Structure 1
Amino acid sequence: MSHRIALILMAAGDSTRFCASANISLKKQWLRVGDKPLWQKVAEDLSALYPFCQTLITASESDFCYMQCVSPFPIIKGGATRAQSLRNALRRVDAEFVLVSDVARWCVDRAVCERLLACLGDPDFACAVPFVSVPDTAFYQGTYLVREDIKLIQTPQLSHTQTLRDALELGDFSDESSAIHALGRRVEFVLGSARLAKLTLGEDLRGAGLLPPSGESFCASGFDVHSFEEGKPMVLGGVRIESPLGFKAHSDGDVLLHALSDAILGAMCAGDIGQWFPDTSEEFRGADSAKLLAHIHAYARSVGFEVRYVDITILAQFPKIAPYKREIQENIAALLALPKSRVSIKATTTESLGFIGRKEGVAVSANATLGYIRWDRILDNEERL
């Protein structure tokens, strides 16, 4: 008998322990496995086990918009806790039962899932969870425990949807089974698997057997134009330019860094700088564009991308760019943690044609090449991210 079951994958964590343990900014749910982020691989692997009527993935507030851009599955904005994220997702579930798992348990075990599904034959079914036993002597607060009585609970966990909703009204819980147990309903235990161990620390990658990221490159361009404004400092590529004119803009008007930001966002398929820092927001009035670029660069790394090369062309009749090219190159290299050999700065005039030729403003065309961060090299000590 086929039941209507929804799948919820929890991926809204901030990976604090993982990042700290490996001294990296790449969040574990964004580890690229081949050419897919880990959350997508886990969702697809679980989806292959059963014809789920819905598949929902929770995302942190910072990842929500980007995941919507790139995910083949519906994305739900998470909350401050796992339980709140789950509540948010359950509002979208219209199935009688729901299977909930964590992206950190990246390895899917068919046998465990089949044991969970077999529990649905009970007319009073509320929740079924996998567990593993404790092989070692256990000591807790001055007492030796009977290890045969200890169960380490894993995910995925299968629950009756409305029962789980009701249980989560009682408060925040670390998993579904503890919430349903607090509600006074019976929890069924099935044999779990060592393969379902969580990916928690960077060292857990060792021996995990995850496919390293592909060597694919992603190239995109960005283009921006700003007119001049009297009485405002001119900043180009994060460098102060001697000029009586600055750029008319909501921020500091650094047309070069705006174009470069768009190129990086484009290579990630992450929208444009106007979406990230809207000119309708007072928060970004007069903003330092170098800080905006640094934010975009840090986010790119947190979701698994590194900038490998940038190529920038400045179109300006005024001011003269040649005296500043090297300083601009060095500044951008520092902002993106790149060697100067991977930052190309070119400048040209428009032979006095058009608004640039009339010295009314400056345009910049930027190209960026990105690739996946090679997290597998962390284990080989070949590079630190």
Structure 2
Amino acid sequence: MRTDVIVVAAGSGQRAGDGIPKQFRTVGGRAVLRRTLEAFLGQPGIRHVLPVIHPDHGAWCAEVMAGLEGVLPPVSGGATRQASVRAGLEALAADPPDVVLIHDAARPFVSARLVADAIAAARLHGAAVPALALVDTIKALTNNDFVGSGPDRNSLRSVQTPQSFRYDLILSAHRARIGTDDLTDDAAVAEAAGHRVAAFPGDPTNTKITTPEDFVTAERNAALELTDVRTATGFDVHAFGPGDHVMLGGIKIPFDQGLSGHSDADVVLHALTDALLGTIGSGDIGHHFPPSDPQWKGAASDVFLAHAVALVRKAGGRVAHLDATVVCEAPKIGPHREAMRERIAAIAEISLARVSVKATTSEKLGFTGRREGIAALASATVRLPWVD
């Protein structure tokens, strides 16, 4: 049976605090919406994933979806969730699926088990929702804010998404409600059309991001996904040559000599690039940017470091820390240390607290001691999903 997924991302997320809509903010270095879309891509039985977005959010969505395969072009939603879901359902009508899953973009931690169970439940029952038993006792408040009696929690459930349906069932149910967009989930739409909705076990980790505090929890959850912590090192050296400045850590430092190299000879960024490439077993800087290739002659080394960071992210990882040590007699590194940290953090798109730059001399020993060049040592720590 063909299964499509509608990801509802048309809201403004006002309860999440100031800033851009919550579905476009990042958790663990990836936008919430991208995380949600990726959670469905490649799952057994999934044919297409369709985002439904606010008409004004096209540019944000395009940036989030860049490079994703299997995601249909987004469609514009309506003023209510019900209207947005209906827009997504109608967009699938030309080539309809057998089963459709309807999921909130703000639930980026949906598991493969939950997706599989949702598909199976829709095939079996026609309409189904994931549900969790309540842990807390529920109480009603009286008019003067005193605790009154409450319902029996044993019969209550907290309902999640993805909610799953036979496509023809939920489409006709939504069409029957045109002009009455007062229902907050698709199970209620199905029930209003006279269909029984089954419940299947939800997932406590399938949390919804609603408030600023939820982003804190989501960051912790994202970190728990990345249990493979790796550290690798890098080293680079360049000789002095003619010039009036050196590039170190992405910063132009005035000096009475330059550094010789095919690119801008930034030993700090080169060493950091090799360290990052080492964490994912992806060769070295010469493999990705051969010195024999004329396009890299004089190139800014920012490009090399950004490329290595992108490869780590493509592997599903995050850069946890970058550390560099510059070895030279001159120029003085101290006055430029913070500018180098800031530039490295900007290139790697990580916080300043995750970058360290240090400097030392070789006590006038060796080629650096004789002021023949500059060396740099680097280490990189990344967090990756565990893969056996």
Return the TM-score normalized by structure 2. 0.50
RMSD: 2.7
What is the deviation of 1:35? 5.4
Q: 1:244 aligns to what?
A: none
Distance 1:114 1:126 in 2: 15
Q: Secondary structure at the match of 1:177?
A: helix
**Would you say the 8 A contact 1:33–1:211 is kept in 2?**
no
**Would you say the 8 A contact 1:159–1:176 is kept in 2?**
no
**Would you say the 8 A contact 1:11–1:58 is kept in 2?**
yes
Q: What's the % identity of the aligned pairs? A: 26
When residues 78 and 179 of structure 1 are mapped into structure 2, their CA distance, relative to the original with a 3 A threshold, is same
Q: 1:50 aligns to what?
A: 44
What is the deviation of 1:36? 3.6
Gaps of 5+ in 1: 213-340, 342-368, 378-385
Distance 1:65 1:31 in 2: 14
What is the deviation of 1:89? 0.8
What is the deviation of 1:111? 2.2
Q: 1:12 aligns to what?
A: 10
Distance 2:205 2:61 in 1: 27
When residues 34 and 138 of structure 1 are mapped into structure 2, their CA distance, relative to the original with a 3 A threshold, is closer
Q: 1:233 aligns to what?
A: none
When residues 200 and 61 of structure 1 are mapped into structure 2, their CA distance, relative to the original with a 3 A threshold, is same
Distance 1:181 1:51 in 2: 26
Distance 2:347 2:75 in 1: 27
Show the 5 A alignment for 1:24-173.
24-33=18-27, 36-68=30-62, 71=65, 72=68, 73=71, 74-93=73-92, 94-122=96-124, 125-140=125-140, 142-168=148-174, 169-170=176-177, 171-172=180-181, 173=183
Q: 2:229 aligns to what?
A: none
**Would you say the 8 A contact 2:34–2:64 is kept in 1?**
no
**Would you say the 8 A contact 2:40–2:46 is kept in 1?**
no
Q: Secondary structure at the match of 1:140?
A: coil
Select which of 177, 182, 201 maps to 1:191. 201
What is the deviation of 1:50? 2.7
Structure 1 residue identity aligned to 2:116: E
Question: Which of the pair has the greater relative contact order for Cα pairs under 8 Å at 6+ separation?
Answer: 1
Gaps of 5+ in 2: 142-147, 225-338, 340-345, 355-388
Q: Secondary structure at the match of 1:174?
A: coil
Distance 1:62 1:211 in 2: 31
Deviations 1:54-100 (A, max 9, x none): 21101112102542466243111111111111111111211121011
Distance 1:373 1:58 in 2: 30
**Would you say the 8 A contact 2:78–2:87 is kept in 1?**
yes
Q: 1:210 aligns to what?
A: 222
**Would you say the 8 A contact 2:127–2:164 is kept in 1?**
yes
Structure 2 residue identity aligned to 1:108: V
**Would you say the 8 A contact 2:101–2:162 is kept in 1?**
yes
**Would you say the 8 A contact 1:11–1:102 is kept in 2?**
yes
Distance 1:152 1:35 in 2: 29
What is the deviation of 1:371? 8.9
**Would you say the 8 A contact 1:11–1:39 is kept in 2?**
yes
Deviations 1:327-346 (A, max 9, x none): xxxxxxxxxxxxxx9xxxxx
Show the 5 A alignment for 1:321-332.
none
Distance 2:209 2:28 in 1: 17
Q: Secondary structure at the match of 1:113?
A: helix
Q: Secondary structure at the match of 1:180?
A: helix
When residues 203 and 35 of structure 1 are mapped into structure 2, their CA distance, relative to the original with a 3 A threshold, is closer
When residues 195 and 69 of structure 1 are mapped into structure 2, their CA distance, relative to the original with a 3 A threshold, is closer
Deviations 1:100-127 (A, max 9, x none): 11111110222222222222453xx321
Distance 2:28 2:204 in 1: 24
**Would you say the 8 A contact 2:129–2:197 is kept in 1?**
yes
What is the deviation of 1:34? 5.5
When residues 95 and 25 of structure 1 are mapped into structure 2, their CA distance, relative to the original with a 3 A threshold, is same
Deviations 1:282-317 (A, max 9, x none): xxxxxxxxxxxxxxxxxxxxxxxxxxxxxxxxxxxx
Distance 2:123 2:127 in 1: 12
Return the TM-score normalized by structure 1. 0.50
Q: Secondary structure at the match of 1:195?
A: coil
What is the deviation of 1:52? 2.0
Structure 2 residue identity aligned to 1:130: P
Distance 1:90 1:156 in 2: 14
